[in-house]
Chains A and B, each alone.
Chain A
Amino acid sequence: MEQPRRITDSFPRRLRRRGAGRPPGRLKDKKDKKDKDQDKVQVKVRDCSRSPSQPAPDPALLEMLRRFDLSWEYGPCTGITRLQRWERAQELGLSPPGPIRDALLEHRDNPDVTYRWVWDGMGW
């Protein structure tokens, strides 16, 4: 059932992160709106039925990305996307490996690739 249009629909809806008490009806609206980074991570944790249209990424690629996350030279990995972390390392002159960036840009739509792996229940 479509919601009635409002004048404010011309402004982008900004979703605020809620805690565990988020009303369940909200999840249905997520597909129409433009998501922000954090909300995409929330969706990834709570609603796993997304994403089947994209091909599953290579496990070797995921392993390489996990190693990139855990390498201490490039700083903390929580709370920022892998691409942001790569670019930050580049700007600080730490010379992060180039293939990581190519892989990140190639699989830009896949949340498993772009974001740091999330363990159960704790989305950043």
Chain B
Amino acid sequence: MFSEQAAPMAQGLLAPPSAKPPTFPRVPVLGYLDCSQPFQLGERSFSRQYAHIYAVRLAGMRPGLERCARSQWGNDIVLRKLSELQAGEKCCVVGTLFKAMQLQPSILQEISEEHNLVPQPPLPKYIQPSDELILEDELQRIKLEGAIDVQRLVTGTILAVYGSEQDDGRFLVEDHCFANLPPPLPWNGPSSDRFVLLASGLGLGSVSGEALLSTQLLVDVVTGQLGAEGEQSCAAHIIRVILAGNLLSQNTQSRDTINKAKYLTKKTQAASVEAVKMLDEILLQLCTSVPVDVMPGEFDPTNYTLPQQPLHRCMLPLASAYTTLRLVTNPYQANLDGVRFLGTSGQNISDIFKYSSMDNYLEILEWTLQAGHISPTAPDTLGCYPFYKSDPFILTECPHVYFCGNAPHFESKLLQGKEGQRVLLVTVPDFSATQTACLVNLRDLTCQPITFSGFEADNED
């Protein structure tokens, strides 16, 4: 692994300077292909309703789900639409899930005057025992009960349920299934050790500057200015850095100036201006040495709805001069040396976290892969562009590395699928809180955290 190779050669730092210092050329980039065209929006039109995206989601995932249902419950099961249901008949229905939640923030309730409600403060989770699941297809909807975990599922998931309709009009579920892992991609990975560094949540522009030392240490390790020859030779195997969102901190989003009078705020600058300048300098140091992919996140200056468009290069004048800087969308998909990466900056996972009983980000990440959709809660509770032709968040091919940024901790898991899929699931932690980044080895799909802690507050040395 990374650190094992580095350790034995630390003695080099104590030797006298040699006439010809050793150089470590960075391993060349063999193949890079950007596959995130479905997430790049050209001309945007918001005059459409969201019914289209749900309709194409159902129509697009229905064939796969019918196949999964047949393979799970037998070839002779009856597939029915909700309008064709007969009471008491055991059949399978494919539809979109809707979870009716009492605590779900509703703008209509907030602005309704007859209720006189104070707007609800944001809660960590909006689930309640009284939530109900409703299955909708193209024409009708029906309430679900039975062997289905109401708390765990979220709105927008496409699933197949097997059961029968009861006399009271509800559907008694005996079993349900999701689209399961998408078909595997062929493996063309490298034969020698190559690392990709995943980091997210740099959080520049925050009030406290604690993470700045760690960020600088990260940059120094990647550019090979830190450590002895061992570390430098290892750093030369890092072929790419992916920054998965939240480059700016949440503090840069403060909107106090909106409420103040104009004469007080005339000369003040938005906090994000300084933060973006800092980001530009950090990226400049990185780009001179290694290709960098920058994904926008929740607090970055780009659009709010998913898919977030790349940051504009005019904001990063110093770093955009280098071709190694790639400003990419969120979600991001690319082929790095034959290994398919797919990841987001974490908004989809944290949104599911709020509306589901699942607590672990890695568990939610795995669940989205099993459900065959990157972000089922969009557009219900997560902002989404009103697509009409196709839903780009449906997973059609199984990536080799599937990551999400801005998670509370680092976790990783290698998932083996039934059709030979091998996926490395990584939850990239928030760097400003944990000072941890991840190194993914492309040769054998292993992942290692790397922590850059500075001086601790209670360290008395």
> A residues bordering B, Cβ < 8 Å?
17, 37-38, 72-73, 75-76, 78-80, 84, 87-88, 91-94, 124
Looking across the interface, which residue of chain B has its beta carbon closest to that of A93? Answer: B63
Any chain A CB within 8 A of the CB of B418?
no
Would A79 and B59 be within 8 Å (CB), given that A72-B138, A84-B388, A84-B389 are in contact? Answer: no
Query: Of B49, B138, B139, B389, which contacts A88 at CB under 8 A?
Result: B389
Chain B positions within 8 Å of A94 at CB level: 59
Would A17 and B47 be within 8 Å (CB), given that A76-B55, A88-B56 are in contact? Answer: yes
Chain B positions within 8 Å of A37 at CB level: 45
- Cα A92 to Cα B52 in complex, Å, equals 13
Contact B59 A124, beta carbon cutoff 8 Å: no
Interface residues of B in 2-55 (CB under 8 A from A): 45, 47-49, 51-52, 55
Any chain A CB within 8 A of the CB of B320?
no
Contact B56 A78, beta carbon cutoff 8 Å: no
Would A38 and B47 be within 8 Å (CB), given that A72-B138, A76-B55 are in contact? Answer: yes
Contact B139 A79, beta carbon cutoff 8 Å: no
- Cα A80 to Cα B138 in complex, Å, equals 18
Closest beta carbon of chain A to B416's beta carbon, Å: 31
Contact A78 B48, beta carbon cutoff 8 Å: yes
User: With contacts defined as CB atoms under 8 Å apart, how many contacts are there between chain A and chain B in the complex?
Assistant: 45
Any chain A CB within 8 A of the CB of B128?
no
> B residues bordering A, Cβ < 8 Å?
45, 47-49, 51-52, 55-56, 59-60, 63, 138-139, 386, 388-390
Contact A79 B138, beta carbon cutoff 8 Å: no
Closest beta carbon of chain B to A46's beta carbon, Å: 16
Closest beta carbon of chain B to A73's beta carbon, Å: 8
Contact B47 A124, beta carbon cutoff 8 Å: yes
Closest beta carbon of chain B to A64's beta carbon, Å: 22
Contact B49 A78, beta carbon cutoff 8 Å: yes
- Cα A84 to Cα B390 in complex, Å, equals 12
- Cα A110 to Cα B56 in complex, Å, equals 28
Query: Of A17, A80, A93, which contacts B48 at CB under 8 A?
Result: A80
Contact A79 B47, beta carbon cutoff 8 Å: yes
Query: Of A75, A78, A87, which contacts B59 at CB under 8 A?
Result: A75
Contact B49 A38, beta carbon cutoff 8 Å: no
- Nearest first, the 7 closest Cβ-Cβ pairs linking A and B are A79-B48, A75-B55, A76-B51, A92-B59, A38-B47, A88-B389, A80-B388
Chain B positions within 8 Å of A79 at CB level: 47-49, 52, 386, 388
Chain A positions within 8 Å of B59 at CB level: 75, 92, 94
- Cα A87 to Cα B56 in complex, Å, equals 12
Chain B positions within 8 Å of A73 at CB level: 138
Closest beta carbon of chain B to A37's beta carbon, Å: 8
- Cα A88 to Cα B53 in complex, Å, equals 12
Chain B positions within 8 Å of A80 at CB level: 48, 52, 388
Looking across the interface, which residue of chain A has its beta carbon closest to that of B388? Answer: A80
Chain A positions within 8 Å of B138 at CB level: 72-73, 75
Looking across the interface, which residue of chain B has its beta carbon closest to that of A41? Answer: B47
Chain A positions within 8 Å of B389 at CB level: 84, 87-88, 91
Closest beta carbon of chain A to B224's beta carbon, Å: 46
Chain B positions within 8 Å of A75 at CB level: 51-52, 55-56, 59, 138
Contact B60 A92, beta carbon cutoff 8 Å: yes
Looking across the interface, which residue of chain B has its beta carbon closest to that of A73? Answer: B138
- Cα A94 to Cα B52 in complex, Å, equals 15
Query: Of A17, A38, A88, which contacts B388 at CB under 8 A?
Result: A88
Chain A positions within 8 Å of B56 at CB level: 75, 88, 92
Looking across the interface, which residue of chain A has its beta carbon closest to that of B63? Answer: A93
Contact A91 B47, beta carbon cutoff 8 Å: no
Chain A positions within 8 Å of B55 at CB level: 75-76
Looking across the interface, which residue of chain A has its beta carbon closest to that of B83? Answer: A72
- Cα A87 to Cα B389 in complex, Å, equals 9
Looking across the interface, which residue of chain A has its beta carbon closest to that of B48? Answer: A79
- Cα A84 to Cα B386 in complex, Å, equals 15
Closest beta carbon of chain A to B45's beta carbon, Å: 7
Looking across the interface, which residue of chain B has its beta carbon closest to that of A76? Answer: B51
- Cα A124 to Cα B49 in complex, Å, equals 10
- Cα A73 to Cα B49 in complex, Å, equals 18
- Cα A88 to Cα B45 in complex, Å, equals 17
6 more A-B contacts (CB under 8 A) besides A80-B48, A88-B390?
A: A72-B138, A75-B55, A75-B59, A84-B389, A87-B389, A94-B59
Chain A positions within 8 Å of B52 at CB level: 75-76, 79-80
- Cα A93 to Cα B59 in complex, Å, equals 9
- Cα A84 to Cα B56 in complex, Å, equals 13
- Cα A79 to Cα B55 in complex, Å, equals 14
Closest beta carbon of chain A to B413's beta carbon, Å: 34
- Cα A121 to Cα B145 in complex, Å, equals 43
Closest beta carbon of chain B to A70's beta carbon, Å: 13
Provide a sorted-by-A list of 29 A–B residue pairs whose CB atoms are within 8 angstroms: A38-B45, A73-B138, A75-B51, A75-B52, A75-B55, A75-B56, A75-B59, A75-B138, A76-B49, A76-B51, A76-B52, A78-B49, A78-B51, A79-B48, A79-B49, A79-B52, A79-B386, A79-B388, A80-B48, A80-B52, A84-B389, A88-B56, A88-B388, A88-B390, A91-B389, A92-B60, A94-B59, A124-B47, A124-B48
